[in-house]
Amino acid sequence: MKKFLRAVRLDNSDDQIYQTAGTVAEGEWLVSGGYAVCDLARGYRCNPRCHCDDSFLHLTSGARCTIAEVAEIEDAVVEELIDALTQHLVLKWKAPSLAAARTVAEVEVRYTLDLCEPFSTDVWITVKRSPNPEGEGIDEKYDIYNRLMIGSHKI
């Protein structure tokens, strides 16, 4: 079975951090979101700050999330996510064509699948992006955490 990212909401802190982009509900599917990052070498272009350097992205709303969980996903759902992200890129990002949007959506969804592959399900993951030292592109660092448990209940 394939693995993908789902939103984790421990409290309402994401609501305070991502006021302009909006927040993701618990359990919604996320992509890494590397395609939607400011040119970090030049600084943030959003005011208030978008926090694109340390968040994941919802596929269709542009909302952000700080913590994601690695979870199993069905192949049919993966295709639905590609379709949804394609439509979002066409309608909201004004992609030059459906084919171009589909290519970006497929790359982003496949990247997220590859990212999750080595991890066990139920781990939490965070991201930190920074300008590449060579000045080209962005480096991503992911931290992994064991899922918190209170008694025998997952949170």
For 114-129, what is the mean pLDDT? 92
Pairwise CA distance, residues 61 & 84, whole Å: 10
Grouping H, G, I as helix, E, B as strand and the rest as coil, residue 100 is helix
Looking at 57-61, 94-98, 124-128, 134-138, which range is the least confident one?
A: 134-138
pLDDT digits (tens, 9 = 90+) for 61-75: 888 888 999 999 999
151, two tokens: 């008694």
Provide the phi-psi class of 21: left if phi over 0, else alpha when psi is between -120 and 50, else beta.
alpha
Is pLDDT above 90 for 15?
no
Q: Supply the pLDDT for residue 63.
A: 85
Pairwise CA distance, residues 24 & 123, whole Å: 18
Is pLDDT above 90 for 128?
no
Q: Which residues pair with 149 in a beta bridge?
A: 154
pLDDT digits (tens, 9 = 90+) for 134-153: 767 777 899 999 887 654 54
Q: End-to-end CA distance of the chain, in Å?
A: 23
